[in-house]
Amino acid sequence: MFELKNIKKLYNNHLILDDVNIKVETGEIVGLIGKSGAGKTTVIRIATMLETVDSGELIIDKDSYDLTRLSEKEIRNIRLKEGFVFQNFNLFKNKTVLENVTEGLIYARNYTKDDAEKLAIEALEKVGMAHKRDEYPRNLSGGESQRVGIARSLVYNPSVFFLDEPTSALDVENKQEVINVLKSMKDNKRTVLLVTHEINLIKTIADKVCFLNNGKIIEEGKTNEVIERPKTDELKHFLNSTI
């Protein structure tokens, strides 16, 4: 289980997140939607501790943490439980597909090369990329790169995944490959917070959805209820503008 509680975030005295609460139950996919600049990436960056907060709490599994006063040890403990995938893949260009996936296991988690490779190949098989293990990122399509990015987080078997626009940089065909991998994450009951502006992807894989507007979650609930029966003008307008 993952939860962000009472998150408040200011940039340059401007309130970006105003008491945001998001909960992802184990085995559930929660979609976070909202217009450009709403603060979705900021939520993900806070959840992965790439960004500080003005106030707020993070709960992961059974442990809760005050995000304003994290020790180095707490940050390490939280990071061990989190996986993330961003829009732009961020693969190491001078490393092969396999090395991209084993790198963290070997250098951050002290796995032997053999053990790391075994786990990496399993993860690459899950995303249909094991056959390209010796390729370099420059020889991969966008969809393939993103699937390697997903394998890189799967290999740790984290408690929760954070995906920020995982399909946005891709053309239609590449998008479909990645969506298939995301569907298998759903089938395997992964716990995921998914940011996307693609409502169809939300409808396909998210169990619940939260709509972020003006720094607050103003609608949330089961995906089909929120998407089919929006209550606020803001969400109605957002849904009309994204179809």
Ligand X SMILES: Nc1ncnc2c1ncn2[C@@H]1O[C@H](COP(=O)(O)OP(=O)(O)OP(=O)(O)O)[C@@H](O)[C@H]1O
CB of 41: closest distance to ligand X in angstroms?
3
Taking the least distance from each CB to Mg ion, the nearer of 12 and 110 is 12
Query: Which of the 8 DSSP states describes residue 132?
Result: G
CB of 31: closest distance to ligand X in angstroms?
13
Burial of 106 (0-12, 13-18, 19+ CB in 10 A): middle
Which amino acid makes up residue 144?
Answer: E
Return the range that interacts with ligand X (CB under 6 A); candidates 37-45, 74-82, 144-152, 216-224: 37-45
Maximum alpha-carbon separation in the chain: 56
CB of 197: closest distance to Mg ion in angstroms?
9
Q: Is 38 in the site for ligand X (CB under 6 A)?
A: yes
Q: Is 31 in the site for ligand X (CB under 6 A)?
A: no
Residues 6 or more apart in contact with residue 100 via CB below 8 angstroms: 91, 92, 137, 148, 152
Return the range that interacts with Mg ion (CB under 5 A); candidates 33-41, 48-56, 169-177, 203-211: 33-41
Q: Is 41 in the site for ligand X (CB under 6 A)?
A: yes
Q: Is 213 in the site for ligand X (CB under 6 A)?
A: no
Site for Mg ion in 38-57 (CB under 5 A): 41
Q: Are 24 and 1 contacting, i.e. CB atoms less than 8 angstroms apart?
A: yes
**Number of neighbours of residue 21 by Cβ within 10 angstroms:** 15
Q: Is 4 in the site for ligand X (CB under 6 A)?
A: no
Taking the least distance from each CB to ligand X, the nearer of 37 and 72 is 37
CB of 146: closest distance to Mg ion in angstroms?
16
Query: Which of the 8 DSSP states describes residue 133?
Result: T
Taking the least distance from each CB to ligand X, the nearer of 36 and 110 is 36
Q: In what order do the strands lie in the sheet with 192-195?
A: 82-85, 160-164, 192-195, 29-33, 208-213, 216-222
Question: Among 31, 34, 143, 215, which residue interacts with ligand X (rule: CB under 6 A)?
Answer: 34
Taking the least distance from each CB to ligand X, the nearer of 77 and 168 is 168
Give the total of residues touching ligand X (CB under 6 A): 11
- Radius of gyration (C-alpha) of the chain in whole angstroms: 18
Closest to 197 measured CA to CA, from 231, 163, 220: 163
**Contact residues: ligand X, CB under 6 A:** 11-12, 16, 34, 36-42
